[in-house]
Amino acid sequence: MSQILKNKIISKCMDVKYGMIEPRKLRKERERHDHEYQNRSEPLVSVYIPTYNRGEILIERSVTSVLKQSYKNLEIVIVGDHCTDNTAALVNDIGDSRIRFYNIPQRGYRYPPTAENHWLAGPVVAANVALGLVEGDWIARVDDDDTWTEDHVESLLNFAQDGNYEFVSGQYVSVRYGVKSIQDGVGAKSAYYTRSEVPITGENPLIGGTSTWLYRSYLKFFKYNINCWRKDWNRVNDIDISQRFFKAGVHMGFLPKVLSYVLPRPGEKTIGLDAYKEAEDEKLSHFKFDS
């Protein structure tokens, strides 16, 4: 069997599995927990950060920006994907009781190790482990090299509570080759996600970048798809799961406000897949699986 055919079969099987299980699970979890979100007190927000051997940038960007939040009732769950650098020591030196660090014991083979696949599926294992550790009423993700505005959590939480949304997101600022731009949300039924030019009807909520997500904790049964790299569209781990949120019927809202910054890492000129492709050898070395 060719790899292309194998990828198509596995992707189709995963789609069928998610389509059968997740809408039903959502209805059950909503019935059990929706009433808990009618209380407008200060709920605990779990912030999780998947990371791998980026100790310095983790502290300088994501962790520092989370600690500066105007909203204080937070827990910060950092999951290292078997970090072998100084990440653990740097996190421990912060001395904030709201922070928990867990380092995955091994980093075994997960997918064909290409720069593109590392970008598509690299954070999946650590992110899923983090979802099993969070204890808050709401969940937010920030990647180790991204930065939040100081009112990030407060703005999203107020917006979600006011609109009775289960999932909210917003705008972020990106910098590519020195050009700064505001990235807006994209409609869940748009051609960007569906590859279809058919006129859009019905609900079409905007979905922002993963560094702007906030959602109710009963949605943590949605796990990232380690096989997302096999797909021929919507292949990135965060796009894959956000489309599954929408298809399952999660109530989504979009806040048209800049909430985070996605900037090039030191020594790089751009972000996302382009940055990985431009430093392919370095990425292959950095993200090498354990033998």
**Residue-wise pLDDT tens digits, 153-174:** 999 999 999 999 999 999 999 9
pLDDT in the model for residue 98: 96
Rounded to whole angstroms, the Cα distance separating 174 from 181 reads 6
pLDDT in the model for residue 221: 98
Does residue 151 sit within a domain? yes
Does residue 148 sit within a domain? yes
Q: Considering its fold, how many domains does the chain have in total?
A: 1
Does residue 44 sit within a domain? yes
User: Can you list the residues of the chain whose pLDDT is less than 50?
Assistant: none
**195-216 residue pLDDT tens:** 988 889 899 999 999 999 999 9
Does residue 291 sit within a domain? no
Does residue 113 sit within a domain? yes
What CATH number is given to the structural domain containing 71?
A: 3.90.550.10
pLDDT in the model for residue 230: 98
Does residue 42 sit within a domain? yes
Q: Which domain holds residue 121?
A: 3-286
Does residue 230 sit within a domain? yes
